[in-house]
A and B are shown apart, each in its own frame.
Chain A
Amino acid sequence: MASEYTPRELMVSAAAAEIEDGDTAFVGMRLPLIAFQVAVSTHAPNSMAVYESGVVRDSPADGFIHTMCDLPNLNRAVSATGMIDIMSRLQRGDIDVGFLGGAEIDRYGNLNTTWVRAGDDEIRLPGSGGACDIACMADRTVLLMPHEPRRFTEEVHYVTSPGHSPNGGRRTDHPAPGGGPSTLVTSKATFGFDVDGELYLRSAHPGVSPEEVLTDFPWEMNTAEDIGEGPVTTTAQPTDEELALIRAFDPDGFWTRS
């Protein structure tokens, strides 16, 4: 029986599972900062992380990090250079997996972090940062967001980070060279993208029913079963080892327990 955990701790565990041993991961802000450290400490000891600030790491930071530039993330880094170095790795195809967040997502994994609509008003968000670049050029991307129905929309108001083509075939009919989104992790479920680049429900988190997840989307979403991938499963709970690591990397729970 696993210990008690928060939805964000489970999201970190699920995000970490998306990093395979040997991968180079492009890590941005917030939960992925913790997820890479968990992955490299457990199943992916030969993975590497790059940060657009210019940092390359292959080990966890020895201390809590609010941002990629916190000094523990610089200490004993593989290298500390500049953004052109890091983005060039991305552009030439060296990045296996990148992490992205979003205020809005549509069925093709287009993400919006720039402008959202609220009634008649437009609300300005911080913008792309490196997200558009990661979305365009990483071999695959993993998307993380809170599970809130208002975030799931037929058409995002602004495509900050491009997903798959609406014409089918994922990225074949799309100008971005990367592989596009492969997984969405929310605070209630995980999703994949099918051969046409459309979201489908892969697993529901423990205690959440697949039906309740599906009703949160404004379109009729397929499940793994619908597309012949087998039944919708229950998302793996974080292991005791993962929880211990998450709580060591985020001791006050700033990112994962609030």
Chain B
Amino acid sequence: MTKQAVLSLEEAVSRIEPGSSIATGLALEHAIPFAAGHELLRQGIDDLTMIGPISDLLFDQLVGGGAVSRIRAAWVGNVSAGTGYRFREAVESDEIDIEDHSNFSIALALQAGAMGIPYLPTRSLLGSDVFERSGLFREEIDPFSGDRITLVPAISPDWAIVHVQRASPDGDVHLWGNTGIIDPAVGAAENVLVTAEEVVDPDVITSDPSRVAITHDQVTAVVECPFGAHPSPLAGHYNRDNEYYLEYHRRTKTQAAFDEWADEWVHGVSDREEYAEWIEADLSITEPIVAAEVRYGQ
């Protein structure tokens, strides 16, 4: 893929077609691309298959907004409060299909996709109903040891959406803090949408190639999107907005209540700058830690 120009969030998200499969929320509770998710809702891009490990709220919001037909994930809810009411109601009423995973099985499925192989074996899952009822996994005998083993088939999403600290305009990415399953998902996905707190000069990125998590050949679109992971935390930029998660839980018990919430927080916001003005909590980094300098050279 050639190097990319920086796009607006609206333009980048508009490239995602209805019916796509999207892996996101990949760093678990860290760096969740909420801004991109809300743009999917504003544009009414629907019939989506959402793929992820645990989705801390974002999948619940996408389900509530009517964007989702299917979920392939290990956990969907609200890590601060437990239940995601929109997810729960949609699954109980068969409005969406759910393929239950464990965190490791979704990681391995994407890792297999990233490695270009049909499946990966694991010692997890056997004896559980995650194995029995998902209808996805196979039990086999390891031909070398004779052990019973589970085969996890590859998943290759149409898109991975990732929020990062900084990217060059070309799409080379620096990302730090915990990364969950970002690496396997980016490798497995056909297209990668990167939203970045900052778009920086390419020299910043090339100064530290060991910190490069995604390379431009993998990236379809780069968006500069400050505060793009709020209410989730982003290492070095902002803390988690815990009260947002609790308020969402209180306010979304019914579909009508969710619609009211979404009118305010999703549809009532034209862009992320306006959104940032809504945030009441002080999430700033009060005790910054600057990593020791890393030197390269020749």
Chain A residues near B (Cβ < 8 Å): 29, 51-55, 62, 66-71, 74-76, 80-84, 87, 90-91, 114, 121-133, 135-137, 158-162, 174-177
Contacts and interface: CB of A to CB of B under 8 A. Distances in A.
B103 A136 contact: no
Nearest to B233: A71
B126 interface: yes
B128 A160 contact: yes
Contacts of A127: 73-77, 100
Contacts of A133: 102-105, 124-125
Contacts of B54: 126, 129
Contacts of B215: none
Q: How large is the interface on B (under 10, 10 to 19, 20 to 34, 35 or more residues)?
A: 35 or more
Chain A binding surface SS class:
loop
Interface of B: 27-30, 53-54, 56, 73-77, 79-80, 82-84, 87-88, 91-92, 98, 100-105, 107, 111, 122-130, 132-133, 139, 148, 176-184, 232-233, 235, 239-240, 242, 245, 285, 287, 289
Contacts of A130: 74, 102-104
Contacts of A121: 92
A69 B240 contact: yes
Contacts, number: 184
Contacts of A52: 28, 53, 103, 180
Contact of B102 (A68, A71, A76, A131): A131
A83 B29 contact: no
A37 B260 CA distance: 40
A132 B178 contact: no
A128 B74 contact: yes
A135 B100 contact: no
Contact of B101 (A66, A71, A128): A128
Contacts of A75: 287, 289
Given A82-B179, A87-B124, 14 more contacts: A70-B233, A70-B240, A83-B103, A83-B107, A84-B184, A87-B103, A130-B102, A132-B124, A133-B102, A136-B123, A136-B128, A137-B124, A159-B132, A160-B128
